[in-house]
Structure 1
Amino acid sequence: MKSQSLDAVCVVAGTTIGAGMLGLPMAIGFLGFKVSMVLLLVMWALAFYTSLLLLEVNLQVGTGLNVNMMVKKVLGRWGQIIAVVCLGFLLYAVLVAYVTAMGGIIASALGVSGDAFSTGACSVGFTVVMAVIMFCGTNAIIRFNSLFFLSMLGAMAIAFATLSTTVDVNVLVNVAPDYSYLIGAVPVLFASFSFHFCIPSITSVVGTDTRQLVRIMFWGTLLPLLCYMVWLFLSLGSVPMDQIVNMSGSVDALIKSMCNGSVVIQTILSIFAAFALITSFFGVALSLFDLMAETLRRTNSAKDRIGTTLIVFVPVLVAALLAPGGFIAALAHAGAALAVICILLPCAMSYKLRSEAKAAARKLAYMTPGGNMGIATAAVCGVVILVANYV
């Protein structure tokens, strides 16, 4: 695989795998290991298919065009407004949550986590470093992302190898699924595979080689799937379900239970969480940067890049310092925005472009397999995920 393609795979996989992966056992563990595996496969297939739909649209209307302009060209002004509002809300909220979390992780590493001022200063320092990297350009971001992503995989591999000795297969097999948690788990699972908003940034760097782009989407989503499966195998096989129920959603409690007091394993998992946050941060920040630059018609000059960087990071930093809890709570509704951006809009745009191409007897540059039945099935899944956020 070419270096450029490998970097793009790291962007997709790094954006997909966030520190939220650590909380997956708390979110879907009540369904049992076997049901969780089936749901993971279904959500992966849905995410991969809809990413190909968005790739199809991007190649048709203009390689590298952001979701904002793609929707405007295909669905008109109102579609554009819906897309920009949903995507902007989602990306800003996620970045605020990440800045807050990284501030806490850095403060804890420095031994000042109990001091609100010091934790805020750590958030500021992290944001400034990320802003400088963002200003340096897409290629710099992709290279840094690849470095952190490979480091994250290394930390994950060491932690997984160590934890594998604690797995009890009987704990995995004997858990009876509690299907009352099924509806609530669906949006969480799909959110674990959300990376679609970075596709325009990838095509602007990689180009229009469809075979190469499809391979990037496949491997970039398959890696997170495998990581999620192994993590659920280790966590659900190490901690009995009655203990998970009593943890009240605390990831720290889960990790401590799995580590059996091992400071080394806790440290490795903390390093993994930090790298996972940073790699996901890069993908989200790059998407927001490109969205703002395109929406506000800013060029790639140094002066405009400085302005766009400030537009992206200043509101994020202010919100992280003044009201982190409110914005993190808003992430509970981010699943609805994801369903619109990652499923419903790609389905609508792809269907319209195909209909127009068929009427004009024009061949598309790339068409995702599955036909209209595939689009309809994905759209129904999108509606289910959208509704599940509020049930």
Structure 2
Amino acid sequence: MKLFGSSLILSGTALGAGMLAIPMVLAQFGFVLSLVLMLIIFIGTTYATLLLTEACTKTETSSGLSSVALATLGVKGKYAMNLFFYMLLLCMMVAYSLGIGDLLHKLFLSFGINVANPICYSIFSLLMGVIVISGKSYIDKLNRVLFILMVVMLCVVIASLFSKINLGYLTQTANFTLFDLVKYSTVIFTSFTSMVVIPSLVEYNKDATPKQLRNMVLLGSAIPLLCYLTWLFAIVGNLGTDQISQFNHISELIAAFSGHSLLLKGVISVFSALALVTSFLGVSMALYDQNRDAISEHKGLCFGLTFVVPLLLASIFSNQFVSMLDYAGMILVFLAIWGPLAMAVQVRKPQHLLPESSLIYTVSGGNIGLIMTFFFGVFIFVSWFVQ
């Protein structure tokens, strides 16, 4: 159950961004082309996540990325990875806070109460912070409940929407160029990357076998892919490319279903909120562990760095949900692709001292896998500059 719960944490960390951002950025390309792009990015990100898992099992301390980077890349590598890691997690924390604030604001408005977005996401963030600092077992148990509830909501939504699918919408595309396709690859890349929780999960499952760790990552990566494809199929099939391409906020996507039924709109609202909450839990857990690993063990200080600082940034970058995910995608190239690649290269060298434990994992694929991972990172890196 720990391994299954860890897979759900891995999945939940990815799903918050993707379930809400993917329809808004991929609809213009149609379902088939979006499917191909998602499969390519899924394979690249999953392999890179396995490389990071390998690096974590081949170092003595893997509670945080800082320790793993120090053991594999040295002091300079540690500082570089810490910089990218903090930038990424802050971008994602800000994005999820803004998304949650938008949803809670609309929820209160439906009851005739006008609560400002900053107040909504501040209260939520601080409450989640109490759970995160309580320990991983609490996060695991809460995340299982939320994730299962989210899947139930997704099934209800899909069942409702599939009866109204317009197959003509699925082949419909807006006017776009190859540059447009490459341009949005960073947002999709961000939606598939949940490697930030890998050091925490490897430490949490330190008695797991290499096969179990591999399956944990594969399951945790495959669930988002299945959910994204089903979700995109249902959304595009119901609303069409032209309408979805005009959305900029989560609440606009939800409001588009007001003509279907109030119940469906309510279910989608709850589902969207759960997707963001599970992602917020995973990312905040990773940031909290990173702060404890790299800065201080003091809970009060780590709480402030993990939850108060992102709130201040969210007030500055208001109404920038998709943009923050885009920035995160640029940072992720170094952190989630080239970083694990460099670590895997180091731990495979004969002079690297492996831990005494026999529970170490090596990703299959050899040098070909490493080379392909490097060029996958180049593709994502270049795609950001196309913008």
TM-score, scaled relative to structure 1: 0.89
Asked if residue 170 in structure 1 is aligned to residue 168 in structure 2, the reply is: yes
Whether 1:389 aligns to 2:384 is: yes
Aligned to 1:343: 337
Residues 1:271 and 1:371: Cα distance change in structure 2 (over 3 Å)? same
Q: Distance in 2 between matches of 1:187 and 1:330?
A: 11
**Higher deviation after alignment, 287-296 or 346-355:** 346-355
Q: Is the 8 A contact 1:35 1:177 kept in 2?
A: no
Measure the CA separation in 2 of the matches of 1:56 and 1:387: 27
1:136 matched to which residue of 2? Answer: 134
Q: Secondary structure at the match of 2:189?
A: helix
Query: CA offset at residue 103 of structure 1?
Result: 2.6
CA RMSD of aligned residues (A): 2.7
Letter in 1 for 2:242: D
Tell which deviates more after alignment, 304-313 or 368-377. 304-313
Alpha-carbon deviations, 1:62-108, whole Å to 9, x = none?
35332112122211222222211111011122212322332332232
SS of equivalent residue, structure 2 residue 363: coil
Judge conservation of contact 2:16–2:96 (CA < 8 Å) in 1: no
Farther-moved stretch of structure 1 (257-266 vs 346-355):
257-266
2:33 maps to 1:35: yes
SS in 2 for 1:76: helix
Three-state SS of the structure 2 residue aligned to 1:324 is: coil
Deviations 1:254-297 (A, max 9, x none): 44445534221111111011101110001000000011101014
Cα distance in 2, alignment partners of residues 249 and 226 from structure 1:
24
Match of 1:86 in 2: 84
Q: Which moved more, 1:365-374 or 1:247-256?
A: 247-256
Any conservation in 2 of the 1:61–1:73 contact (CA below 8 Å)? yes
**Worse overlay, 61-70 or 128-137:** 61-70
Indicate the residue corresponding to 1:301 in structure 2.
none
Q: Is contact 1:103–1:120 with CA below 8 Å preserved after alignment? A: yes
Shift of 1:50: 0.9
- Residue type matched to 1:156 in 2? L
Question: Is 1:235 equivalent to 2:244 in the alignment?
Answer: no
Q: 1:305 to 1:267 in 2, by over 3 A?
A: same
Report if aligned partners of 1:16, 1:194 keep a CA contact under 8 Å in 2. yes
Question: Structure 1 residues 326 and 249, CA, compared in 2 at 3 Å: closer, same or farther?
Answer: closer
Cα distance in 1, alignment partners of residues 96 and 89 from structure 2: 11
Q: Which residue of 1 aligns with 2:68?
A: 70
Match of 2:209 in 1: 209
Q: Which residue of 2 aligns with 1:275?
A: 274
* TM-score, structure 2 normalization: 0.90
The answer (yes or no) to whether the contact 2:103–2:251 under 8 Å persists in 1 is no
Deviation at 1:351, TM superposition (A): 1.5
Secondary structure of 1:365's aligned partner? coil
Instruction: Please point out which of 359, 363, 372 is paired with 2:367.
Output: 372
Displacement of 1:339 after TM fit? 1.0
In structure 1, distance between residues paired with 2:276 and 2:334: 24
Residue 174 of structure 1 and its aligned partner are, at CA, apart by 5.5
Cα deviation, residue 334, structure 1: 1.3
Tell me which of 97, 105, 108 is aligned to 1:107: 105
Q: CA deviation at 1:357?
A: 5.4
- Conserved? CA contact 1:64–1:202, under 8 Å: no
Q: Is the 8 A contact 2:291 2:302 kept in 1?
A: yes
- Over the matched positions of the two proteins, sequence identity in percent amounts to 28
The 2-side partners of 1:297 and 1:356 are apart by 33
Aligned residues: 382
Q: How far has the Cα of 1:326 moved from its partner?
A: 6.9
